[in-house]
C-alpha cells in the first residue's frame, strides 16, 4: 500500500518524477523517459512553464493549428486553435471557406459587463439592512479607490453595487451583487480583490450603524467571489445568404438543405439530450481558440452552459431560420475574455496566437471566438443532415488509428489513399491494415 507523502511540493522536479514513477507506474524508467522527453530544450522556456502551476513534472502538448479564411465583418482572419480532437480544425476551415464566398460572418458585441458577489447571512430586520446599505454604498466604492485607479484609466471599473434579498431561496441569505467593466483584462483578480474589500468595509461599517442591534451587527460574510455566469457579457455572431446560394452538393437541394438545417436546430432547441451534444460542437470551436489565446476555457464553458439553461431548460445556443428566401444562422453567447494579463504576456505561443489575430482587444477577441463556435456548429449540423457525422470525422481520425496500430509511413500513405474511396470505420481500418501488412 502506498503511503501518503509529506512535503511533495518541496522536492526537486527530478525527485518528484522519481517518486511518482516509482510508486504509481509499472515501468518507472520508461515513465521517467516519457516525462523528460516533453521537457523543452530551452532552459528558460522550461523554467517559465514550470512556474505556471505547482508541482510541475513535464509539459503536456496539444496540437496548435490554424483555421484560415474567416471573413469577419469584412476582415480576413486566420484563427489559431489548440485542440486534440480530430476534424475540428478541418470542419471550422471548411465552414469558413463556405461563408467566405457568401459574405462572411457578421458580429456585434452586445455587452461586456462582468459580475461578482459578496454572499452573507444576516439575522435581523430586512429594512434595517436596506437602510444601512444606502448609507454605506458610497464608502464601499471609496474603499476600493486604490484598486480601481488603474482599471479606470483603461476605461473599466465598478459599474454598480446592489443589495439583493435572497431569503426566499435560503433563510437569512443576502448578497451584494456587483457589476464590473474590466476593459481588455479577464479581470478575475481585479474583481475578487474589489469584492473582498467590499466585504471588509461592509462588516466594519456595520459596527458603527446605530440602528443595528449587536446581533444584527454580527452578520456572517460567507464568501466573496466573481461569477462565471456573465449573461450581459454577450456577443452575437451570424451568417446569412439567399437560399439559392446554399449549394452543398448534388445529393440535396439548397431548399431541402435549408429546411433540414432549421429542423435540426429546432430539435436542439426543445430536446436537452440533443442540445448538449449540439452545444458541445459549438464549444469545440470556442474552447480551441480560448485555449490558444491563454484564456480560461473552464470559466467560459461554465458560463456558456448556464446561459443555455437560462430559461429553465437546457437548449440550443444557435438559431436558424428561413424567411423571404433568406437563410440565417446565428447565436448570442456570453464570453468573458481578456487579451492582457494572465498567460497572454507570458506564454510564447499565446503571444504568437494573439499576434496572428492582429493583437485584438477583448471585444474583438469575443467576436473572433464566437465566430469559431458558430462555424464549428454549422459544419457539424451540415454533416449531420447530409452525409452523416462519421464520414468526415473517421477520415480525419484515420491517422490516429494508424498510429495506434504502428503503421509505417508507406502503410499510412497506401491506407489513406484506400480510405478516400471507402468508409473509414475503426474495424475497417484495422482489417485493411492487417491485410496490407500480411501480404
Catalytic residue from among 119, 278, 393, 395? 393
Q: Among this protein's residues, is 393 annotated catalytic?
A: yes
| E strand residue ranges, 166-260 | 173-181, 220-227, 234-242
Q: Among this protein's residues, is 280 annotated catalytic?
A: yes
Angle at 49 between CA 43 and CA 51, to 5 degrees: 105
Other Cβ atoms less than 10 A from the Cβ of 166: the count is 14
Give the side-chain half-sphere CA count within 13 A for 100.
Answer: 16
| E strand residue ranges, 139-183 | 157-165, 173-181
- Distance, in Å, from the CA atom of 116 to the CA atom of 194, rounded to the nearest integer, reads 9
DSSP, collapsed to helix, strand or coil, labels residue 223 as: strand
Catalytic residue from among 203, 256, 280, 418? 280
Which region holds residue 264: left if phi is over 0, alpha if psi is between -120 and 50, else beta? alpha
Catalytic residue from among 296, 347, 395, 397? 296
Q: Among this protein's residues, is 85 annotated catalytic?
A: yes
Catalytic residue from among 18, 50, 85, 301? 85
Q: Among this protein's residues, is 84 annotated catalytic?
A: no
Q: Active-site residues: which are they?
A: 85, 280, 296, 393
Amino acid at each position: 500500500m502506498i503511503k501518503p507523502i509529506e512535503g511533495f511540493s518541496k522536492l526537486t522536479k527530478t525527485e518528484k518524477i522519481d517518486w511518482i514513477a516509482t510508486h504509481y507506474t509499472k515501468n518507472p524508467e520508461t515513465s521517467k523517459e516519457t516525462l523528460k522527453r516533453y521537457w523543452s530544450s530551452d532552459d528558460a522556456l522550461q523554467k517559465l512553464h514550470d512556474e505556471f502551476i505547482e508541482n510541475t513534472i513535464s509539459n503536456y502538448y496539444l496540437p496548435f493549428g490554424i483555421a484560415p479564411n474567416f471573413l469577419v465583418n469584412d476582415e480576413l482572419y486566420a484563427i489559431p486553435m489548440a485542440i486534440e480532437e480530430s476534424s475540428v480544425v478541418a470542419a471550422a476551415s471548411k465552414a469558413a471557406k463556405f461563408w467566405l464566398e457568401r459574405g462572411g460572418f457578421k458580429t456585434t458585441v452586445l455587452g461586456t459587463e462582468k459580475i461578482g458577489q459578496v454572499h452573507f447571512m444576516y439575522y435581523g430586520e430586512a429594512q434595517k439592512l436596506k437602510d444601512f446599505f444606502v448609507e454605506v454604498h458610497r464608502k464601499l466604492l471609496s474603499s476600493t479607490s486604490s484598486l480601481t485607479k488603474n482599471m479606470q484609466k483603461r476605461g473599466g471599473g465598478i459599474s454598480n453595487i446592489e443589495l439583493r434579498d435572497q431569503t426566499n431561496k435560503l433563510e437569512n441569505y443576502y448578497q451584494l451583487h456587483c457589476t464590473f467593466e474590466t476593459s481588455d483584462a479577464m479581470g478575475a483578480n481585479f474583481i475578487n480583490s474589489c469584492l473582498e474589500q467590499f466585504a471588509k468595509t461592509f462588516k466594519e461599517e456595520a459596527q458603527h450603524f446605530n440602528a443595528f442591534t449587536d446581533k444584527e451587527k454580527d452578520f456572517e460574510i460567507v464568501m466573496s467571489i466573481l461569477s462565471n455566469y456573465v449573461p450581459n457579457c454577450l456577443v452575437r455572431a451570424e451568417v446569412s445568404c439567399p437560399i439559392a446560394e446554399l449549394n452543398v452538393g448534388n445529393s440535396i437541394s439548397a431548399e431541402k438543405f435549408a429546411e433540414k438545417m432549421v429542423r435540426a436546430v429546432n430539435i436542439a432547441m426543445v430536446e436537452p439530450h440533443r442540445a448538449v451534444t449540439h452545444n458541445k460542437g459549438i464549444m469545440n470551436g470556442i474552447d480551441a481558440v480560448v485555449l490558444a489565446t491563454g484564456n480560461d476555457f473552464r470559466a467560459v464553458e461554465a458560463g456558456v452552459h448556464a446561459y443555455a439553461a437560462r430559461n429553465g431548460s437546457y437548449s440550443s445556443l444557435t438559431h436558424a431560420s428561413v424567411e423571404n428566401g433568406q437563410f440565417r444562422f446565428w447565436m448570442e453567447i456570453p464570453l468573458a475574455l481578456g487579451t492582457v494579463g494572465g498567460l497572454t504576456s507570458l506564454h510564447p505561443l499565446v503571444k504568437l496566437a494573439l499576434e496572428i489575430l492582429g493583437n485584438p482587444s477583448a471585444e474583438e477577441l469575443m467576436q473572433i471566438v464566437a465566430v469559431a463556435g458558430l462555424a464549428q456548429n454549422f459544419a457539424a449540423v451540415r454533416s449531420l443532415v447530409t452525409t452523416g457525422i462519421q464520414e468526415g470525422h473517421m477520415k480525419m481520425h484515420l491517422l490516429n488509428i494508424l498510429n495506434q496500430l504502428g503503421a509505417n509511413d508507406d502503410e499510412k500513405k497506401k491506407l489513406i489513399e484506400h480510405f478516400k474511396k471507402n468508409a473509414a470505420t475503426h474495424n475497417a481500418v484495422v482489417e485493411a491494415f492487417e491485410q496490407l501488412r500480411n501480404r
